[in-house]
Structure formats: C-alpha cells, structure tokens
Structure 1
Amino acid sequence: MKHPLRRALRTANTLITVYYAYMLEYRAELFFWVLSGSLPLILMGVWVQASQEGQFELSPLEFIRYFLAVFLVRQFSVVWVIWEFEREVVEGKLSFRLLQPLDPGWHHFASHFAERFARLPFAIVLIALFFLLYPQAFWVPSLSNILLCIGVTFLAFVLRFVTQYTFAMFSFWIERANAIESFWFLFYLFLSGVVAPLEIFPPMVRAIVEWTPFPYMIYFPASLLVGLPVDLGRSLAVMIGWTVLFMGLNRWLWRLGLKRYSGMGA
C-alpha cells in the first residue's frame, strides 16, 4: 500500500473516531433527531388506509414495508452541512479551517458519517418497536437486496451531502444560504418518495421525476430493500451523474467563493 493511501486512511480514521466520540456526547439530542425523522411512519397510516379503500399498485402490507424502509434510509442520509458551513462563513470561523492542510468539506463529511453510527442504536430500538406493533409486516430481505440497499444508501447520502454542500457555497455571497435549501427541500419532500412512493404518480410525471436527483435520495434505496422493481443500471447512472455534476459545481463555487472570502479580509 502506497504511503499517500496509508496517510489518507489514517486521516479518515482519525476524523471519524473523533467526530463519533463528539456525537456520543449528545445522545439525548440524537434520540430526538431520530424521532424527528418519523414522518414516513406517520404517512404510512394514511396510505395504508387509502390502499384499503382505493386501487393502488401496492398492497397495504407493501405500503407498511415501504415506509419503514423510507424511515431507515432517511436516518442514514440526513444532512445539515449547509447550516454549519453558513455559520462558519458568517462568523469567520472558516479562516481557522483554511489553515489546516485539509479541505473543510472533509470535516463536515466525517462528522455526518460518524453520526450515522451514533444514531444506529436508536434506530434499531424503533424498528423493534415497529415490528411489535406490526408483526405481520416482518420480513427478511435477501442478502443481495440488503447489500445493494446499504451501498445505494451510502451513495444517496453522498448525493444529498454534495447537493446541500453546493448550496452552502452561496454563503460567500448571501447571509442566509439555507433559504435555498429550504426551497429545494419542498421538491425533495414530495418527489423523493418520502410522502408517497413513485408507484402512485401518473406515468408521465414519474417518467420526468426519474430524471431528477430526488428519487435516488430515498425511493431508490428504499425500493431495493423491500424488493420493489427498479431499473438498477439506469438508476445508478442517473444517481452518479447528478453527484458528479454537483461536485463539479461545488468546486467551481468554492474557488470563486474563496476569492471573495479572502477579499473581505479573512
């Protein structure tokens, strides 16, 4: 193994370990953050009732499993980097980050990644409680579906992180860049599969939505877990394409923003 790779792995291990310990200091807060992501479980009851009275592609049992999968995917793909980065820029704390031989984005990425492990025990407890309330919904996904879901959920987290971190770059020009995220979140909420699976969308609307980044942040990994039919190759291609696009835009805005930031006396 080459020296640069060993150094990168050592740096990543240090960052994740430190931020994991930091996140463990806020166990009570993490518990409430996990509960705040329970919207899919609330919407589940609505769609189960609707499926019993109407004609949908999914059965009541499939709705239950789908929204449980959405709950899980949301737990491991939630992102808040725009608020942290915005505060660093507005308060001038980014200057200290720039003195380090590491892009500030990696600090944010490591803290998000470590937080996934810190909230895992709470998510497991809620899942166990869920199956106590809905024992008929218990199922064991195939090993291939589990592995695919884990891998795609990580890609969904990366896509969500890169998207929001790109919006965060506008903090160099405006004081409330999070307003952009708030507007984007409206589309994310309705088009990602959080409110409803894509199966209930009209065919033409679904065909358009599938070319946007939103379904691949929630619907795609959730569908893999419950076994709903998806076009794996096409979905991965669209997902990776949007990730690369936002990464390129992010680096461009970062270079422009740093010139403005240094010009302000930082």
Structure 2
Amino acid sequence: MRWLINKVVSFLSVYYAHMLEYRAEIFFWVLSGSLPIILMGVWIQASQGGDFALNSVEFARYFFCVFQVRQFTNVWVIWDFEKEVIEGQLSFKLLYPVDPAWYHVARHIAEKMTRFPIAILITLLFFWLYPEAVFMPKLINLILGLMAIVLAFTLRFIIQYTLAMFCFWIERASSIQQFWFLFDIFLSGITAPLDVFPASIREIVLLTPFPYTVYFPASLFINRPVNITLSFIIMLTWIIIFFVINRWLWRKGLKQYSGMGA
C-alpha cells in the first residue's frame, strides 16, 4: 500500500509541476469552455417570456454549475493517445511496468488541481455579478454532487479512452470523438437542462451515459429533484460497460500496433 501511495504521489507531483508551467494556457482553456455562460443568458431571457420548469434565477444557477462541472470533467485523452500511436511514443510506455492509461489519468487529475483556484475566482465573480443567484446546496447534495463529479470524470474518461483505442486501426480516431460530441453537447445538459425536454424524450435520454457527465451533477448542486440511486446505478453500469470494451479493444489493438520500436 505504501508503494502504491508513493507511486500516486510521484505521478501527481510530476504532472502538477508540468501543468503549472502552462497555467496561463490553462486559464484560456477555462475561458474556452464558456458556452454554458453564453447559453445562460439565452435561457434567462427566454424564461422571462415563456413557461419552463426553471425560472430565470434557477437557469442562472444551473448553467453556472454546468460551467463548473465541465471544468472538472473535461477530457482530452484521445488526442494524446492518438499522437502517441501515430508517432510511436506508445512503444516506450509499453516497456514500463505501469499501464499507459495511468499516465493520462495522472495528467488529467493534475490539470484539474491547477484549475481549482481559477474555479474559485470565477465563483466569486459570478456571485458578485448575479447576487440574486447566490445559493447553498444542501450538505447531502453537496457530498453527492462531488461524488457525481468524480464518477462523471471517470465515465467521460473511460468513454473517450475507449474511442481512442480505434487509433490502432484508423489514423484519426479523434474524428469519432467529434461525432460523439455532437450528441454529447445536446444530450448531456450543456445546451439545455433536461427539465425542458418532453417527458418521453427525457426518459430515453436518461438511459444513455450523456446526462450523467453534466446534467446530473449540476442538478444535485442546485437541489433539483432527481432519482439519485438510479442515476448512480446507471453511471456505474456505463463505466463498467465501457471499461470491459476498452480492455477488449486494448488487447486486440496491441496486436495491430506497428508504431516505431513496436
């Protein structure tokens, strides 16, 4: 156990130091994810003249939480993995006694640690600009929301890492991710909360993995009524499904791998 802890600390410290060198760039990455803030203004304006499940203040709180959730669940592993396969860099990592996936996990977690101070500043700025939207989640919802963020990141990572396995067969697996993103941006709750969807469509969407990467954690933080137990079960189910597919594609893909030094 001590050996494992030392490995984890070493991985995180190295990648955290690396991310600090690019903290200015990370600030711009944070700003690049400002789509929910833009949509917040759109839905606030729409709610003043329409009949929706959320009022203008609730829309502001929801999209603020969406923005924050996305800061800690964004994933880019498919582009890194694609580069490693194309350039043959994966060959060297296969020689190490650690699964290459853990390098990507450590890098992502370190990047989230770097974003944390920026997230606090954005929170203070938001509440200063929209004092009427100040809210405090229930303690149980706060705890469950943090758990949901961890699982949402895990789900998003394992999905994208699974899609990355197609790099062994096609040159640009990132194109698959771009196609996946078309569904994700509409069904995850980024462009609109699922509360405004027709009930029949919402029930179908809730069976997919998309809502649990954004909508579910955000809803917990703003104390919206959701089926917590079922939601966590569905999240874990999708994580297990994609993990099994990932390991199968990994074993098959290594037989196809012909990178430099392989």
| Bin for the TM-score computed over the shorter chain | over 0.9
- The answer (yes or no) to whether the contact 2:85–2:259 under 8 Å persists in 1 is no
1:78 matched to which residue of 2? Answer: 74
1:41, 1:264 → 2: CA distance? Answer: 44
Aligned positions of 1:1-266 closer than 5 A: 5-262=1-258, 266=262
SS of 2:171 mapped into structure 1: coil
Which deviates the most, 116-125 or 254-263?
254-263
SS of 1:257 mapped into structure 2: helix
- The answer (yes or no) to whether the contact 2:168–2:257 under 8 Å persists in 1 is yes
SS of 1:53 mapped into structure 2: coil
Deviations 1:71-122 (A, max 9, x none): 1100000000000000000000001101100000000011001111101111
Dislocated runs of 4+, deviation >3 Å = 262-265
Deviations 1:28-67 (A, max 9, x none): 1000000011110110010011111000011111100000
Which deviates the most, 124-133 or 51-60?
124-133
**Letter in structure 2 aligned against 1:30:** I
SS of 2:190 mapped into structure 1: coil
1:111, 1:94 → 2: CA distance? Answer: 16
Return 5+ residue gaps in structure 1 as ranges.
Answer: none
2:204, 2:148 → 1: CA distance? Answer: 21
Which deviates the most, 136-145 or 148-157?
136-145
- The answer (yes or no) to whether the contact 2:165–2:250 under 8 Å persists in 1 is yes
Deviations 1:133-191 (A, max 9, x none): 10110112222111111111010000000000000000001110000000000100000
- The answer (yes or no) to whether the contact 2:88–2:259 under 8 Å persists in 1 is no
TM-score (normalised: structure 2): 0.98
Count of residues in Structure 1 that have an aligned counterpart in Structure 2:
262
Deviation at 1:131, TM superposition (A): 1.1
1:72, 1:6 → 2: CA distance? Answer: 33
**Letter in structure 1 aligned against 2:254:** L
Deviation at 1:127, TM superposition (A): 1.5
**Letter in structure 1 aligned against 2:225:** P
1:10, 1:152 → 2: CA distance? Answer: 27
1:76, 1:20 → 2: CA distance? Answer: 15
Deviation at 1:6, TM superposition (A): 2.3
SS of 2:125 mapped into structure 1: helix
- The answer (yes or no) to whether the contact 2:90–2:259 under 8 Å persists in 1 is no
Deviation at 1:265, TM superposition (A): 6.0
SS of 2:137 mapped into structure 1: coil
- The answer (yes or no) to whether the contact 2:89–2:260 under 8 Å persists in 1 is no
**Letter in structure 2 aligned against 1:95:** S
TM-score (normalised: structure 1): 0.96
**Letter in structure 2 aligned against 1:145:** N
Deviations 1:226-246 (A, max 9, x none): 000000110001110000000
Return 5+ residue gaps in structure 2 as ranges.
Answer: none
**Letter in structure 1 aligned against 2:101:** G
Identity of aligned residues (%): 59
Deviation at 1:194, TM superposition (A): 0.3
- The answer (yes or no) to whether the contact 2:87–2:260 under 8 Å persists in 1 is no
Which deviates the most, 158-167 or 114-123?
114-123
